[in-house]
Chain A
Amino acid sequence: MNSLVKSYGKGLTAVFLALTAVWIAVLIVLPQARMIERAFTYVDRSGDAATLSLEIDRAYTRVFDIDTDLRDLNGQLAAGQAGDEASSGGLPTPSLTPSPSLVPSPSPVPSLPSPSLSAPSPATPAPGVAPSPFASPQETLPREEIEARIAALEEEKAGLQARIAELEVQEAELTSTAGTSESYSAKNFTNMSELHFRIFLSTIVYALCVTLLSFVVCYPVAYAAATARSANKVALMMLGLVIPYAINELLRIFSWVMILEKQGILNGVLDLMGLIDMQAGEGMRFVASNGAVFTVMVYAYVLFMVFPIYNTIETLDKNQIEAARDLGSSTWRIHWRVVLPHAKPGIAVGAIMTFMLSAGSIAVPEIVGRGLHPDWFAQVIYRRFFEAGSWNEGAAYSLALLVACIMFILINMAVFRVGIRDIAK
């Protein structure tokens, strides 16, 4: 403290300390503490209420499925009409789709912690609910049939919505009469369903896979960029790395979805090669597969691995590599004994960033997975908060994710023998 007053004088030191204190308190520690408190606060809802909310959730899910089907069917209808009425070539923005719930109000309405009143966001089906069998009609149907189907679906939807309204009234009554009792306990964790826990574990495994894959993919690139001899080559490679890095994560994902879509470029290429016939509705659903999620995730986060490793290899004395080569070491050996040990801090940083980003990624599984792929934990957290409306469970799940990340960081620090100051650079 004395050293600070010596450097900045009393007044400025007080200002700096106050700012830092506010930062720590308001932006870091207190929010974290509140989340932990919430995580350990169990709200006891009676069994009836739980059943009710489950039923409501189910109903919403079904409504969503119906909406999806309706959109597909209407799309086919519109495509059919496009031939007759060329002028009606409207923009395929979601706002033109028929269902009101599909009007882009993507962001959740997290204003209400009680599940009864929160409008469900038009997201993918709730975890554990099998994908709707109607999700993707493969065959092109005659117009009348489509219209008949739309009518049937609209009818079912109307019924469901009435049922939802009824259930929600019941639920509101239940919660107001029975009330909810709050108590500190670890139940938010212990009550985690087996499914959620499995998702949690598999998310960690997936994130580890993505981390490992990213390392394998980017190590040669980092090495090549760091050891490139001509200044032009270095500049070119840096540009090649910086440009995709600077382009928004979602757009990077978007570009891949375009490729992997059922109507996407990959299937288009297969079609051109005559392997499939897209006109006939053939085509592989690349999205929503594990491979697709992994490919896109590595694509989205690989650069967080490249730069830290590049930075450490760059500081390596290149003569060491030359010397090792001169002594007859194999390429493999040079990397194992010279380059990799030197790059350890960079690998640790890259691994931590990639793991953290992929374990906490909601964009990739949500958008590439389309809810058809098995969930990732971030999606579960999202649903706890905004669909189940249980903030305390959401907080508990978030905490679990945070702890997993902290564990990973600590293990990395131990394995790579780096300190916290090496990591955050």
Chain B
Amino acid sequence: MTVVTAEPAVREIAPRRRRTRDWSDAVLSGYLLLFFAYMFLPLMFMVAAAFNANPTPSVTDWQGFTLKWFEALPQDARFVQGLLHSLAIAGGVIVISIPLGLAGALILTRLQSRASTLLYTVLVSPILTPGIVLGATTMIFWRDAFGVEAGLFTAAIAQAAFIASYCMLMFMARLQRQDRALEEAALDLGASSVFVFRRITLPFLMPTVLTASLISFLQSIENYNTTFFAIGSSWTLVTEIGARMRFGLSPMINVIGVIFVVITVVAATAWVLAKRRSGNG
């Protein structure tokens, strides 16, 4: 008798639990939809408005499809010059950040000392420092110490201060996966330390050098806060965008936005596809 009466009770619990689960799943799905709308709708508006003839970027007040803003962009000297500045700074940042990040990572992964945590803290501190503080300190320091006025150079230095830390973290992650026996084997076979580094350690780190360069490049191109403070009277593409936005909106910025979106979507899709392929194969 007890068994018979107990059974329906058990049966009753299970579906109810499933029902609450379906319900919470539905809420979550709905929320995700909202969230991604929040993320993407503004970007879509931005892209759409780039093709609107209306000189005030808009999608509601549609004045006809046009490509004139795209044609206008390359004729805008300040944007073009800003882009060149951005590229120059990004190049400088890579040249500075990769060796510094690499050196820091190599030291931190092998330093067996209490000082290593302190060293680590100092080396990652720029990541945790507000960008404007980095920009301001760099601007002050280079002017006071060397008489170097704020400009492209100080902008590159200020960016490198924190981008080098990102590079270091990437190199450290890679080095932690290295088989120490490989270096020992090379050493044991009579290779000098320099030869081991050149022939074993560096080739192992090469993929990370490439990804770290790419990420440094992107970080540098995108940076606003730090650059804004450190660049003085010069400008980059992004600070120029910022400057113009303060005076009102121009569809030219939408055009730049479209270019960014296209590059990002292509790159991100390629990245995901590559990742899935390597994951499957």
Interchain residue pairs A-B with the least CB separation, the first 10: A106-B243, A9-B193, A360-B130, A268-B60, A255-B42, A31-B141, A19-B103, A31-B137, A424-B124, A255-B46
Partner of A93, one of B46, B161, B169, B244: B244
- Given A23-B100, A28-B161, A92-B55, CB of A409 within 8 Å of CB of B128: yes
A105 CA / B243 CA spacing, docked (Å): 8
Interface set, chain B 42-93, CB cutoff 8 A to A: 42-43, 45-46, 49, 55-61, 72, 76, 78
Judge whether B194 and A11 touch: CB under 8 Å. Answer: yes
Judge whether B123 and A24 touch: CB under 8 Å. Answer: yes
Partner of B250, one of A93, A108, A331, A366: A93
- Chain A 259-273: CB-based contact to B (< 8 A → 1; otherwise 0): 101011100110110
What are 28 A-B interface contacts by the 8 Å CB criterion?
A1-B111, A3-B111, A8-B110, A16-B103, A20-B103, A20-B104, A23-B123, A27-B160, A38-B140, A92-B56, A97-B247, A107-B231, A108-B233, A237-B32, A249-B224, A255-B43, A258-B49, A268-B59, A299-B39, A325-B21, A356-B128, A357-B131, A359-B130, A360-B225, A362-B228, A382-B229, A420-B117, A424-B165
A381: Cβ under 8 A from any B Cβ: yes
A395 CA / B100 CA spacing, docked (Å): 27
A252 CA / B260 CA spacing, docked (Å): 11
Of the listed stretches A171-179, A184-192, A217-225, name the one at the interface; the rest are far from the partner chain: A217-225
**What DSSP secondary structure best describes chain B's contact surface?**
helix
B114: Cβ under 8 A from any A Cβ: no
Q: Which residues from chain B contact A299 at a C-beta distance below 8 Å? A: 38-39, 42
Partner of B194, one of A12, A31, A352: A12
A34 CA / B144 CA spacing, docked (Å): 8
Judge whether A27 and B126 touch: CB under 8 Å. Answer: yes
Interface set, chain B 102-149, CB cutoff 8 A to A: 103-104, 106-107, 110-113, 117, 119-133, 136-142, 144-145, 149
A binding-site residues for B, Cβ under 8 Å: 1, 3-4, 7-12, 15-17, 19-20, 22-24, 26-32, 34-35, 38, 71, 89, 91-94, 97, 102, 104-111, 122-124, 217-218, 220-221, 223-224, 231, 235, 237-244, 246-259, 261, 263-265, 268-269, 271-272, 299, 325, 328, 330-331, 352, 356-357, 359-363, 366-367, 370, 378, 381-382, 385, 391, 394-395, 398-399, 401-402, 405-406, 409, 420-421, 423-425
Q: Which residues from chain A contact B43 at a C-beta distance below 8 Å? A: 243-244, 247, 252, 255
A15 CA / B32 CA spacing, docked (Å): 50
A254 CA / B224 CA spacing, docked (Å): 13
Given contacts A38-B144, A243-B268, A265-B45, 14 further A-B contacts (CB under 8 A): A27-B164, A104-B247, A106-B246, A109-B233, A221-B35, A251-B253, A255-B42, A255-B46, A268-B61, A271-B60, A378-B130, A385-B229, A420-B124, A421-B120
A394 CA / B113 CA spacing, docked (Å): 38
Chain B residue with Cβ nearest A21: B103
B24: Cβ under 8 A from any A Cβ: yes
Total B residues in contact with A, Cβ cutoff 8 Å: 116
Judge whether B78 and A104 touch: CB under 8 Å. Answer: yes
B binding-site residues for A, Cβ under 8 Å: 13, 17, 20-21, 24, 28, 31-32, 35-36, 38-40, 42-43, 45-46, 49, 55-61, 72, 76, 78, 99-100, 103-104, 106-107, 110-113, 117, 119-133, 136-142, 144-145, 149-150, 157, 160-161, 164-165, 169, 183, 192-194, 197, 218, 221-222, 224-225, 228-229, 231-235, 238-250, 252-254, 256-257, 260-261, 264-265, 267-269, 271-272, 276
Judge whether B137 and A255 touch: CB under 8 Å. Answer: no
Judge whether B110 and A28 touch: CB under 8 Å. Answer: no
A269 CA / B58 CA spacing, docked (Å): 11
Q: Which residues from chain B contact A381 at a C-beta distance below 8 Å? A: 132, 136
Q: How far is the CB of A139 from chain B (nearest CB, A)?
A: 19
Q: How far is the CB of A61 from chain B (nearest CB, A)?
A: 15
Q: How far is the CB of A354 from chain B (nearest CB, A)?
A: 12
Judge whether A20 and B242 touch: CB under 8 Å. Answer: no
Q: Which residues from chain A contact B60 at a C-beta distance below 8 Å? A: 265, 268-269, 271-272
- Given A16-B103, A254-B253, A356-B128, CB of A394 within 8 Å of CB of B56: no
Q: Which residues from chain A contact B40 at a C-beta distance below 8 Å? A: 240, 243-244
Q: How far is the CB of B157 from chain A (nearest CB, A)?
A: 7
What total of A-B pairs shows CB separation below 8 Å? 333
Judge whether B49 and A248 touch: CB under 8 Å. Answer: no
Q: Which residues from chain B contact A272 at a C-beta distance below 8 Å? A: 60
Partner of B256, one of A24, A251, A325: A251
Judge whether B104 and A23 touch: CB under 8 Å. Answer: yes
Judge whether B42 and A252 touch: CB under 8 Å. Answer: yes
Q: Which residues from chain B contact A109 at a C-beta distance below 8 Å? A: 232-233
Judge whether A3 and B136 touch: CB under 8 Å. Answer: no
Partner of B248, one of A94, A239, A331, A359: A94
Q: How far is the CB of B29 from chain A (nearest CB, A)?
A: 8
Q: Which residues from chain A contact B228 at a C-beta distance below 8 Å? A: 107, 362-363
Q: Which residues from chain A contact B145 at a C-beta distance below 8 Å? A: 30, 34
Chain B residue with Cβ nearest A409: B128
A9 CA / B240 CA spacing, docked (Å): 48
A38 CA / B141 CA spacing, docked (Å): 10
Partner of A23, one of B13, B39, B164, B261: B164
